[in-house]
Amino acid sequence: MPVGIEDLYQYLKVVDVVLEVADARLPFTSRYPGLGIKFNCKKSILILNRMDLAEPQATLRWLEYYKSAGTSVLAINARSGEGIKTLHKELSIVAKQKNEVMKQKGLRERPLRIMVLGIPNVGKSSLLNRLAGRGVARTGDRPGITRGPQWIRLMGRMELLDTPGVLWPNWHGREKVLFLGAIGCIPDGRLPITEIAILLGELLKERAPKNLIARYNINLDNTESDILTTIGKARGFLMSGGEVDKEKTANAVVNDFREGKLGRFTLEYPVVS
């Protein structure tokens, strides 16, 4: 189950690298606030996972944004393996540098120890399995799959510590909370699914209307009803009396978004001052 960040401090003294995983569709809000500052004593790499579901140009903008701020960052698709070779190279460089320092101190070489961190359901276990080249960690489409810290031996003399998702006590801003719900970082049922779907529908209507039209075969010029009613009628999600079942419609919209059936879509963009 998710834990507080303080519960993971004890592992800092035994790891060499921190891999912070975030969702490429929500590269800022899906990060634990201030995590980079808390672990600035360690080498860290920010991993933007699920790049296949995000807009390519938006991902490039986020990579440039973080690199300009001095953050080591990579975009990957843990499920397909895209970007994993680059990450392996980065880790191999760090391992070589660490062992050179240890040799200079007259110490024996040891495996590079890596800790994976992130909020629930950003793909940490999928990344671990990809790095390990085998199914060593449970994965799923709901938060809370990883139950406790576990060490995994990787190829190339590396050891990886998988951890449960870390949660912070308070979120600020209703829209950010709904965004987190949209990508599945907050367990279903804790937020009104209709609010999430309406937010997604309105954003897509504004920024990617062709995606909605292609998926649901709807007329977006119809201003007499809200987006959920329009989609529900098109999909035939009707209750007795002909009224649209908005709960069923909302679940369909959110699931379609999560699975990429509404196209590659990024929920937030970097703010450049």
For 236-252, the pLDDT digits (tens) are: 999 988 899 999 999 99
Say how far apart CA 153 and CA 155 lie, in whole Å: 7
Is pLDDT above 60 for 139? Answer: no
Q: Is 184 left (phi over 0), alpha (psi -120 to 50) or beta?
A: left
Please give the single-letter amino acid code of residue 132. Answer: A
Q: Detail the DSSP E strand segments found in 68-193.
A: 73-75, 112-117, 150-154, 158-162
CA distance 62 to 28: 9
Rounded distance between C-alpha atoms, residue 112 and residue 161, angstroms: 11
Mark residue 106 as left, alpha or beta (left: phi above 0; alpha: psi -120 to 50; beta: remaining).
left
- The fraction of the chain above a pLDDT of 70, given in percent, is 83
Q: What is the pLDDT of residues 177-217, one digit of tens each?
A: 999 999 999 889 999 999 999 999 999 999 999 999 999 99
Q: Which of the four pLDDT bands, split at 50, 70 and 90, describes residue 1?
A: very low
Amino acid making up residue 154: L
Q: Which one has a higher pLDDT value, 100 or 133?
A: 100
Starting at the edge strand found earlier in the chain, the sheet holding 73-75 runs 73-75, 43-49, 17-23, 112-117, 158-162, 150-154
DSSP code per residue over 18-36:
EEEEEETTSTTTTSPTTHH
CA atoms of 68 and 90, how far apart (whole Å): 18
**Is the model's pLDDT at 85 over the cut of 90?**
yes
Q: What integer pLDDT is reported at residue 216 of this predicted model? A: 95
Cβ contacts of 178 within 8 Å, gap of 6 or more: 191, 195, 196, 199
